[in-house]
């Protein structure tokens, strides 16, 4: 079973890392982006951050942080949530309205990112084909079903990009007690 408080702290570090990444992007010495926490109603729909730029307007970002990807070479894509009372919901990979999903391979400097809506057909195919294992992750009041996909297969879709953030950003994230 996952320790919710511990996972929440790691997740907050991931959000902080993505914020710092956007905050450090400059054009002619001026910040290119303004990053804010998504409002509570937006968070309920699957967005963690709101990113604003003159060029792109407003974009929403969801951030996932995975503590096992570094060792396994896989990511866990949440496809369903089952509450203790038996009620079921679609998982974040299907429900988020965010424009981009960032996936931090903790504690490395590697981030994966993609447009969630574009990935849905691939995820459905992978589930229908039984291509990858689905595991259940126990949490305090629910469990989630997660499709375990090798990172190389995600990248092979052409939709998932990798981004290496600077090590000084990682140091700042680890030094900051959120």
pLDDT above 70 (res 132): yes
Using alpha carbons, select from 151, 98, 148 the residue that is nearest to residue 126: 148
**Domain spans of the chain?**
4-175
**What digits encode the pLDDT tens for the residues 110-119?**
999 999 999 9
Mean pLDDT of the residues in the chain: 93
Averaged pLDDT, 146-156: 98
Contacts of 55 (CB under 8 A, 6+ apart): 32
Specify burial of residue 142 (Cβ count, 10 A radius: 0-12, 13-18, 19+).
middle
DSSP element (H, E) containing 160: none
- The yes-or-no verdict on residue 10 having pLDDT over 90 is no
pLDDT greater than 80 at residue 4: no
What average pLDDT does this structure show over 145-171? 97
- Statement: residue 16 has pLDDT above 90: yes
The span from the CA of 104 to the CA of 47, in Å, is 15
């Amino acid at each position: 079973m996952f320790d919710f408080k511990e996972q929440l702290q790691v997740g907050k570090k991931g959000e902080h890392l993505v914020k710092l990444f956007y905050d450090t992007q400059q054009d002619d010495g001026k910040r290119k982006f303004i990053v804010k926490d998504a409002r509570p109603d937006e968070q309920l729909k699957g967005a963690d951050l709101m990113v604003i730029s003159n060029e792109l307007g407003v974009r929403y970002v969801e951030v996932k942080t995975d503590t096992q990807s570094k060792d396994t070479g896989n990511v866990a894509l949440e496809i369903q949530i089952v509450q203790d009372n038996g009620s079921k919901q679609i998982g974040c990979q299907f429900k988020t309205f965010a424009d981009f999903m960032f996936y931090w391979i903790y504690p490395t400097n590697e981030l994966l990112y993609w447009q969630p809506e574009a990935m849905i057909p691939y995820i459905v195919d992978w589930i229908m084909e039984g291509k990858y294992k689905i595991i259940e992750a126990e949490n305090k009041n629910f469990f989630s079903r997660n499709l375990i996909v090798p990172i190389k297969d995600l990248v092979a879709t052409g939709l998932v990009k990798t981004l290496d953030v600077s090590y000084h950003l990682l140091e700042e994230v680890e030094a900051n007690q959120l």
